[in-house]
Structure 1
Amino acid sequence: MNPPMQSPASAKAATAEVLTWPPPRATADQRVGMHPVSATVCLVPLEEAETTPRYQWTTTLLADSAAGRNARLRVRPRLTAARWRGPIDVAAQITDRLVDNAVRYGKPFGDGRIGLRLTVLPRSDELLVEVDDAEPGFPAFDTVAASPPAGRGLWWVMANRAGLSWAQKHDNDGQVVGKTVSARVPVTWEGEHELHPAP
Structure 2
Amino acid sequence: MKYLRLFVLILISAVLAGCASNRPNLLPVDSPPKIIVQNGFSFMPLNESEWYIIERQPYEVSLAKRGAATDETFAIQGKVFQFPTFASNESFMQAVKQGQANDTDPANPGRYVTLTHDIELYEHRGETCAYSHIVTEDHAARKRTSTPGFMILDVYALICRHPQNQNAAISFNYSQRNYAQNLDKTLESKARRLIESLEFTALQ
- What TM-score, normalized by structure 1, do the two folds share? 0.29
Greater helix fraction, Structure 1 or Structure 2: 1
Answer 1 or 2: higher relative contact order, Cα 8 Å, separation at least 6. Answer: 2
Higher strand share: 2
- Larger C-alpha radius of gyration, 1 or 2? 1
